């Protein structure tokens, strides 16, 4: 029996797992996808917000500001890419200046530091590519950009190093309250394997199921939650467009969210999006022409000749919008030992470190758990050879020639990095898993050249035949098993 | 009765539009070609169309699992499917070099199937 | 020469362009009395030959060898010539950076990361395929969406079928070739959709790859949706209007497990950009002069990194020219700083030319100017103007964007003339 089962291996679940792994507890994370970071955490704006948006006094406000302040220590301890580039909420001619001032006041109430309104001249000096009629902006120097994949993976790997188990490809179907525990009924669906029923017993449950958190909650509670999946589409632009803006550029928020932003990414690309469209499907991550048009139009409105012909991909993410509007982080009032981290929409990524801490403290207290004395606080990310000196790099290649072999030519990712991504704890098992960890395949050719080579490396390192290498687990086979006369099937 | 057939010449990238008037097996006229190749192509294409088939066969013990092959000469278009059926069943041992004859008489056409790429021993 | 610190000529890329450039440079050095020319070819793949290795179909070499070869056979002949000359090459070696001062930084498993100083460089890196993302195709992002070239590699080199039921977007040559290839291997190619009202591929490929197998080609159609969360389940195509926007109500959904994209090639000029080489926004390749030299002295370009070609024979010819001039540059230095310059310009249906600058002092007896047109035109004339004077007026029964055109300028045409501008245009009125 586990002390804690965390449902969902997104950034929230992994942050909770990492914080809980400080305590002497038997913990398991259960995730329906084949990897961590496969839902909302993988498709979002990759922003660490300063914290001026949310209503003062709300959990969103409190945890965003706290989470933002935790980032420097986390980045040092867990080694993932983050940069405090600052953000601007830009007001254009005709916008209501009172709204900008309201945001400033909110920010001050929420405890956001260094926040100020800047006027036209300073604004255009700061961001020369803003549209000419940008007249003022709320400047938040503490806002940042992050790699949401590696942030989530860092939490997960560190939790794993501290003894947390991960059950991937495992989808929770029901949760039953027993006398002294919860029994979770789940189905395990590994690619190319028959489905298998799994029963997991645990003293406590933490629901961090993102866009599915209402379904999980409603399995144990009479007080029903309702998540309304809200889709946002994005464009990712080539690195040649990466310095088009330096700060994260927002427009004044509306009732559907913070509007369409333009931001550099920590890896030097440019990100534009998201729109907001209420959809029926919790995994409805298809882009649509009308939404992409909307994102395009917004970029063209706010920026001078945005370089949209440098788009290398578009994608969509689902926000777990809960009807009551705030995060729900509590022990479920009518289900003792069941804890919700629900309705984690924006600023969920920014708040996740603080959510993890808050939830871990609640659960540890409930279980009267003591802190371990052998907690490993640090984790090293995948070695980035570009950060080495020439001598160090050549020494590395002498020791391990795979670091001299470029696989992804657009992002200059070596075989050594890909092997590291596969071999490390909770390592990648799919093309997308490798991509999220190393960026191989994320560049301008979008894996056209490197995918066959990366597939070979996965096949070799995981000891599976090539046809069992998937894009993202499940039935996402890249080369269907069956060919004419079975001529090319290699077992 | 005469029949008019419009062809696009595949002899070269120009892709000339050729018109052939045919009566049974008798060609009455060919127009629109701009070189002798075009004239000959039209004639063959109307009476007995041929194609060079290119594909791959399995290699045992090679660097790559397959190696490219081609029919040394064009074969009747109607024989493409039979040719492929035989190709599916061919396995060769590495090394393979360009020009190696892998089948003497593919699909009973009298044409050789030859390797059109190299594969070294692993 | 195992010390990788200096070479006279470095050629980046060992595909058809790099091979031809190396061979012709070698012969130029030899003709000038250099006993062992100092040439190094850097190739990122495991073998020489570049993309030709996966182009196992025939139709290569009609111009160069007067016979029809497959891609590997065509490459093989150039590789043999390279080896006969003992030209040095490194495989599995990725060039990371080049500078204006012609320093090339490269990396491989054996030598690690190293920087070589060159007297001249030939860029021959080739091109990449336009990706789904760059095409802004909406829908899900499941497995089963491949660029045609990736699928070609999987089938012809790795020996794997990427799918069984296929829709192809784009009628570029690789897409057409793959329609036939997949069909021969037992797949069902349901439709080839092409955004433009004309095909981007060669006519022979339409006939031999589509018509032979009754594969429908739908012009003025594009993909408007991709369904399937894990693997492709269906692709919806729709007709487009004259502004290339999908027309509502014309959607047709095709059940399939694979979508292949053959929607254009983009020269791979990240290294060139890093060296500050001036680019032609139409070709996405470097601007070059009659010697295939970029605006950075001593750096030359040829093949698909310069502009996307339809036939490899033209690549070899152009690369031979670049290689010879690069060798001359090594031998003689940059002689041509002074002297007359003629700008090559375009008008009326001609999209671009290569080269864009001619230095008459530096050109040989004849210079081939290659260009592409922007639409399909029938019964037109290709006109060449020297300033206001029409010099060439050549009838063409048909020109199309998918097929490269050329004119040959003879040195004697320029002699005794002071020409500022050479303009190439189509005359559409006399047809």
Kindly list the residues from chain A whose CB atom is less than 8 angstroms away from the CB atom of residue B88. 484-485, 487
DSSP E strand stretches across C29-139: 39-42, 58-60, 69-70, 88-90, 94-98, 103-108, 112-123, 127-129
Q: How far apart are CA A56 and CA A53, in angstroms?
A: 9
> Over 70: is that where the pLDDT of C73 sits?
yes
Pairing of β A182-188 and β A134-140: unpaired
The Cα of C230 is separated from the nearest Cα of chain A by a number of Å equal to: 4
Kindly tell me if the per-residue pLDDT of C431 is higher than 70: no
Averaged pLDDT for residues A190-215: 96
C372 sits in which H/E element: strand C366-373
Of the candidates B67, B71, B73, which has an alpha carbon nearest to the alpha carbon of residue B53?
A: B71
Q: Strand A134-140 vs strand A116-119: parallel, antiparallel, or unpaired?
A: antiparallel
Confidence band of C414 (pLDDT split at 50, 70, 90): confident
Say whether the peptide bond before residue C402 is cis (omega within 30 degrees of 0). no
Strand partners, C354: C370
- Give the C-alpha separation, A108 to A102, whole Å: 10
Strands A227-237 and A311-322, how do they pair?
A: antiparallel
CB-nearest partner of B55 from C184, C397, C398: C184
Contact A488 B66 (CB under 8 A): yes
pLDDT at B32 over 60: yes
Average pLDDT over residues A276-303: 93
Contacts of C225 in chain A (CB under 8 A): 286
Cβ–Cβ gap C159/B70 under 8 Å: no
Residue C430: pLDDT band (50, 70, 90) is low
Nearest CA-CA distance, residue C282 and chain A, Å: 13
Residue A482 pLDDT > 70, yes or no? Answer: no
C136: chain A residues, CB-CB within 8 Å: 292, 311, 314
Contact, A248 vs A47, CB < 8 A? yes
Residue C333 has pLDDT above 90, yes or no: no
Q: Taking residues C239-267, report their average pLDDT.
A: 96
- pLDDT of A323 reads 83
Residues of C in contact with A287 (CB under 8 A): 138-139
For the residues A331-358, what does the mean pLDDT come to? 97
Contacts with B, C 196-225, CB within 8 Å = 202-204, 206-208, 212
C174: which chain A residues are within 8 Å (Cβ-Cβ)? none
- Chain C residue numbers with beta carbons less than 8 Å from the beta carbon of A445 are 128-129, 131
- pLDDT at residue B68 tops 50: yes
Strand order in the sheet with C258-261: C145-147, C258-261, C165-169, C188-194, C217-219
pLDDT(C402) > 90 = no
- Closest in A446, A476, A488 to C131, CB measured: A446
Hey, are the CB atoms on A314 and C138 less than 8 Å from each other?
yes
- Give residue A489's pLDDT: 42
Residue B12 confidence (pLDDT) above 90? no
Separation between Cα atoms, residue A149 and residue A266, nearest integer Å:
12
pTM of the model: 0.94
| C383 touching chain A per CB within 8 A | no
Residues 6 or more apart whose Cβ sits within 8 Å of residue C332: none
CB-nearest to C62 from B12, B68, B98 is B12
Q: What SS3 class is residue C100?
A: coil
pLDDT band, residue C428 (cuts 50/70/90):
confident
Show residues of chain A in contact with B64, CB under 8 Å: none
Least confident interval from A252-266, A303-317, C64-78, C277-291: A252-266
Q: Is the pLDDT of residue A226 over 60?
A: yes
| C208 neighbourhood in chain B, CB within 8 Å | 10, 51
Q: Which of C46, C155, C403 sits opposite B13 (nearest CB)?
A: C403
Query: Are B98 and C76 inside 8 Å of each other by CB?
Result: yes
Q: What is the pLDDT at residue A88?
A: 97
pLDDT tens string C166-188: 999 999 899 999 999 999 998 99
Torsion on CA atoms C379, C383, C388, C391, rounded to nearest 10: -120
Chain B: residue whose CA lies nearest to A486: B88
The model's confidence at residue B16, banded by pLDDT at 50, 70 and 90, is: confident
C83 contact B CB<8A: no
Distance from CA of B64 to the nearest CA of A (A): 12
Average pLDDT over residues A106-134: 97
Q: What is the ipTM of this complex?
A: 0.92
Coil, strand or helix: which one is C88? strand
Task: Give the model confidence (pLDDT) of A410-439 as tens digits.
Answer: 999 999 999 999 999 999 999 999 999 999
Q: Which of A49, A217, A225, A321 is catalytic?
A: A49
What integer best gives the mean pLDDT of chain A?
Answer: 94
Chain B residues in contact with A485 (beta carbon < 8 A): 88-89
Out of B11, B14, B54, whose CB is closest to C58? B54
> Positive or negative, the Cα torsion across C19, C21, C23, C25?
negative
A contact test, residue of B88, B90, B91, B122 with most A CBs within 10 A: B88
Query: A311–C143: do the CB atoms touch at under 8 Å?
Result: no
Q: Between chains, do B88 and A487 touch, taking CB under 8 Å as contact?
A: yes
Predicted pLDDT at C171: 93
| Statement: residue C335 has pLDDT above 50 | yes
Q: Shortest Cα distance from C239 to chain A (angstroms)?
A: 15
Nearest-CB residue to C203 (from B8, B80, B116) = B8
Q: Residue B76: pLDDT above 90?
A: yes
Residue C29: pLDDT band with limits 50, 70, 90: very high
Length of chain A equals: 491
pLDDT grade, residue A29 (50/70/90)?
Answer: very high
Which one of B34, B36, B68, B111 makes the best mutation probe of the C interface by having the most chain C beta carbons within 10 Å? B68
Query: Are A314 and C161 in contact (CB < 8 Å)?
Result: no
Q: Is C72's CB within 8 Å of B58's CB?
A: no
Q: What residues are paired with C239 via a beta bridge? A: C221
3-state secondary structure chain A: CEEEEEECCCHHHHHHHHHHCCECCCEEEECCCCCCCCCHHHCCCCEECCCCCCCCCCHHHHHHHHHHHHHHHHHHHHCCCEECCCEEEEEECCCCHHHHHHHHHHHHHHCCCCCEEEEHHHHHHHCCCECCCEEEEEEECCCEEECHHHHHHHHHHHHHHCCCEEECCEEEEEEEECCCCEEEEEEECCCCCCCEEEEEEEEEEEECCHHHHHHHHHCCCCCCCCEEEEEEEEEEECHHHCCCCCCEEEECCECCECCCEEEECCCCCEEEECCCEECCCCCCCCECHHHHHHHHHHHHHHECCCCHHHEEEEEEEEEEEECCCCCEEEECCCCCCEEEEECCCCCHHHHHHHHHHHHHHHHHHHCCCCECCCCCCCCCCCCCHHHCCHHHHHHHHHHCHHHHCEEECCCCEEHHHHHHHHHCCCCCCCHHHHHHHHCCCCCCCCCCCCHHHHHHHHHHHHCCCHHHCECCCCCCECCCCCCHHHCCCCC
> Could you count the other beta carbons within 10 Å of the beta carbon of residue A195?
11
Residues of B in contact with C311 (CB under 8 A): 13
Residue of B nearest to A484 (CA): B88
Is C334 near chain A, with CB under 8 Å? no
Q: What value does the mean pLDDT take over residues A248-266?
A: 87
Q: Is the dihedral of CA A396, A399, A402, A404 positive or negative?
A: positive
DSSP state of C54: G
Residue C334 has pLDDT above 80, yes or no: no
Nearest CA to A317 out of A211, A226, A225 is that of A211
User: In whole angstroms, how far apart are CA B92 and each of A466, B37, B59, C353?
Assistant: 22, 35, 5, 47
> Closest Cα of chain B to C203: distance in Å?
5
pLDDT value of position A108: 97
* Average pLDDT score over residue span C138-146: 96
**Chains with ≥3 CB–CB distances under 8 Å to A:** B, C
- Tokens linked to C29: 């050095």
Of the partner residues C56, C310, C398, the one whose CB lies closest to the CB of residue B56: C56
C115: buried, middle or exposed (CB in 10 Å: 19+, 13-18, 0-12)? middle
Per-residue pLDDT tens over the stretch C298-325: 999 999 999 999 899 999 999 999 999 9
> Rounded distance, CA C353 to CA C346, Å?
7
Decide if C230 and A448 are in contact by the 8 Å CB cutoff. no
Q: Please answer whether residues C128 and A445 qualify as being in contact, where contact means their C-beta atoms are separated by less than 8 angstroms.
A: yes
| Chain C, nearest residue to A430 by Cα | C143
Say whether A485 and B88 touch across the interface (CB within 8 A): yes
More confident residue, C270 or B10: C270
Catalytic, A49? Answer: yes
Q: CB distance C110–A315 less than 8 Å? A: no
pLDDT over 70 for what percent of chain B? Answer: 97
Lowest mean pLDDT across A149-158, A245-254, C229-238 = A245-254
* Mean pLDDT, residues A276-304: 93
Contact between C155 and B56 using a beta-carbon 8 Å cutoff: yes
| Size of the A and B interface in Cβ pairs below 8 Å | 9
Q: What is the mean pLDDT of residues B103-118?
A: 96
Distance separating alpha carbons of residues C425 and C428, to the nearest angstrom: 9
Place of tokens 């300033």: C387
pLDDT at A491 over 70: no
Whether C72 has its CB under 8 Å from any CB of chain B: the answer is yes
Both tokens assigned to A48: 């660490």
Closest CA relative to residue C94, chosen from C46, C153, C136: C46
Rg for chain A, CA atoms, rounded: 23
User: Which pLDDT score is estimated for A486?
Assistant: 47
User: Given CB atoms, is C411 within the 8 Å cutoff of chain A?
Assistant: no
DSSP state of B119: B
**Average pLDDT of C339-343?**
88
**Distance between B67 CA and the closest CA of chain C, angstroms:** 7
Q: Over chain C, what is the mean pLDDT?
A: 93
A340, A322 Cβ separation under 8 angstroms: no
Helix (H) or strand (E) holding C277: none
Mean confidence (pLDDT) of chain B? 91
Q: How far is B99 from chain C (nearest CA, A)?
A: 9
Chain A residues near residue C149 by CB distance under 8 angstroms: 448
Taking residues A462-468, what's their average pLDDT? Answer: 90
| Chain B residue with Cα closest to A487 | B88
Q: What integer pLDDT is reported at residue C397 of this predicted model?
A: 81
Kindly tell me if the per-residue pLDDT of C359 is higher than 60.
yes
- Give the pLDDT mean for A251-258: 76
């Amino acid at each position: 029996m586990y002390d804690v089962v965390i449902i969902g291996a997104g950034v929230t679940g992994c942050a909770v797992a990492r914080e809980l792994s400080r305590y002497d507890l038997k913990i398991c994370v259960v995730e329906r996808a084949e990897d961590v970071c496969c839902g909302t955490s993988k498709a979002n704006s990759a922003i660490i917000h300063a914290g001026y948006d949310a209503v003062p006094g709300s959990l969103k406000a409190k945890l965003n500001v706290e989470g933002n302040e935790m980032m420097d220590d986390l980045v040092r301890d867990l080694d993932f890419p983050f940069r405090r580039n600052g953000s601007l909420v830009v007001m254009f001619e005709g916008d209501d200046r009172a709204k900008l001032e309201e945001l400033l006041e909110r920010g001050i109430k929420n405890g956001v530091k260094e926040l100020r309104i800047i006027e036209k001249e300073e604004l255009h000096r700061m961001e020369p590519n803003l549209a000419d009629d940008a007249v003022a902006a709320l400047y938040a120097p503490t806002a940042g950009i992050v790699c949401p994949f590696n942030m989530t993976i860092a939490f997960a790997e560190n939790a794993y190093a501290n003894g947390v188990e991960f059950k991937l490809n495992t989808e929770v179907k029901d949760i039953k309250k027993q006398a002294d525990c919860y029994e979770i009924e789940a189905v395990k669906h590994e690619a190319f394997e028959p489905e298998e029923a799994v029963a997991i017993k645990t003293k406590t449950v933490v629901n961090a199921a993102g866009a599915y958190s209402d379904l999980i909650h409603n399995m144990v509670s009479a007080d029903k939650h309702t998540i309304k999946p809200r889709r946002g589409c994005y464009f990712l632009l080539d690195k040649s467009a990466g310095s088009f803006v330096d700060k994260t550029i927002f427009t004044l928020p509306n009732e559907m969210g913070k509007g369409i932003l333009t931001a550099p990414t920590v890896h030097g690309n440019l990100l534009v999006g998201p729109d907001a469209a209420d959809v029926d499907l919790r995994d409805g991550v298809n882009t649509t022409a009308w939404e992409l048009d909307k994102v395009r139009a917004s970029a063209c409105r706010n920026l001078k000749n945005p370089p949209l012909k440098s788009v290398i991909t578009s994608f969509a993410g689902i926000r777990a919008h809960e009807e009551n509007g705030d995060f729900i982080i509590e022990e479920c009032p009518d289900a003792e030992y069941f804890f919700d981290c629900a309705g984690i929409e924006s600023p969920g990524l920014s708040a996740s470190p603080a959510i993890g801490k808050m939830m871990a403290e609640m659960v540890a207290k409930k279980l009267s758990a003591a802190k371990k004395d052998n907690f490993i606080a640090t984790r090293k990310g995948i070695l980035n050879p570009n950060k080495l000196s020439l001598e160090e790099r050549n020494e590395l290649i002498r020791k391990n020639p795979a670091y001299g072999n470029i696989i992804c030519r657009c992002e200059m990712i070596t075989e050594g990095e890909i092997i590291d991504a596969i071999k490390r704890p909770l390592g990648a098992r799919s093309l997308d898993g490798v991509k999220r960890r190393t960026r191989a395949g994320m560049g301008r050719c979008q894996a056209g050249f490197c995918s066959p080579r990366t597939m070979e490396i996965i096949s070799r390192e995981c000891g599976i035949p090539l046809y069992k290498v998937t894009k993202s687990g499940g039935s996402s086979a890249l080369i269907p098993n069956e060919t004419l006369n079975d001529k090319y099937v290699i077992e | 009765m005469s029949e008019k057939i419009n062809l696009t010449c595949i002899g070269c990238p120009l892709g000339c539009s050729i018109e052939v008037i045919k009566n049974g097996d008798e060609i009455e006229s060919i127009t629109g070609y701009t070189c002798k190749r075009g004239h000959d192509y039209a004639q063959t294409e109307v009476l007995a169309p041929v194609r060079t088939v290119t594909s791959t066969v399995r290699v045992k013990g090679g660097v790559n699992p397959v190696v490219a092959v081609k029919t040394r000469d064009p074969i009747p278009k109607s024989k493409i499917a039979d040719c492929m059926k035989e190709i599916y069943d061919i396995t060769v041992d590495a090394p393979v070099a360009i020009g190696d004859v892998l089948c003497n008489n593919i699909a009973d056409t009298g044409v050789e199937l030859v390797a059109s790429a190299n594969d070294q021993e692993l | 020469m195992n010390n990788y610190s200096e070479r006279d000529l470095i050629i980046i890329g060992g595909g058809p362009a790099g091979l031809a450039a190396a061979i012709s440079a070698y012969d130029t050095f030899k003709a000038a009395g250099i006993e062992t020319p100092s040439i190094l070819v850097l190739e990122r793949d495991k073998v020489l030959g570049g993309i030709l290795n996966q182009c196992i179909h025939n139709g290569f070499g009609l111009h160069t060898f007067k016979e029809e070869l497959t891609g590997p056979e065509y490459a093989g002949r150039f590789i043999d010539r390279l080896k006969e000359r003992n030209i040095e090459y490194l495989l599995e070696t990725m060039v990371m950076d080049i500078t204006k001062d012609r320093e090339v930084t490269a990396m491989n498993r054996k030598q690690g990361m190293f920087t070589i100083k060159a007297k001249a460089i030939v860029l021959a890196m080739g091109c990449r395929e336009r990706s789904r993302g760059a095409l802004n195709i909406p829908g899900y992002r499941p497995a089963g969406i491949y660029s045609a070239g990736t699928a070609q590699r999987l089938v012809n080199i790795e020996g794997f079928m990427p799918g069984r039921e296929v829709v192809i977007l784009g009628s570029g040559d690789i897409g057409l070739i793959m329609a036939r290839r997949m069909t021969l291997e037992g797949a069902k190619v349901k439709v080839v959709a092409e955004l433009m009202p004309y095909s981007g591929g060669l006519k022979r490929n339409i006939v031999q790859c589509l018509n032979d197998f009754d594969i429908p080609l739908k012009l003025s159609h594009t993909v408007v949706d991709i369904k399937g969360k894990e693997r492709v389940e269906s692709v919806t195509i729709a007709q487009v209007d004259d502004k290339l926007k999908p027309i509502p109500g014309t959607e047709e959904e095709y059940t399939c497990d694979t979508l292949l994209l053959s929607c254009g090639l983009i020269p791979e000029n990240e290294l060139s950009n890093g060296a500050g080489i001036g680019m032609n926004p139409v070709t996405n390749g470097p601007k070059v002069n009659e010697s295939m030299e970029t605006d950075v002295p001593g750096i030359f370009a040829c093949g698909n990194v310069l502009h996307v070609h339809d036939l490899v024979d033209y690549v070899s010819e152009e690369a031979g020219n670049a290689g010879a001039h690069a060798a001359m540059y090594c031998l003689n230095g940059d002689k041509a700083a002074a002297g007359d310059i003629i700008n090559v310009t375009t008008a009326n249906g001609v999209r671009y030319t290569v080269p864009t600058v001619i230095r008459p002092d530096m050109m040989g007896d004849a210079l081939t100017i290659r260009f592409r047109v922007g639409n399909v035109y029938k019964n037109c004339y290709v006109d060449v103007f020297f300033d206001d004077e029409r010099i060439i007026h050549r009838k063409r029964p048909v020109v199309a964007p998918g097929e490269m055109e050329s004119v040959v300028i003879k040195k004697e045409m320029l002699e005794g003339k002071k020409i500022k501008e050479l303009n190439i245009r189509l005359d559409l009125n006399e047809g």
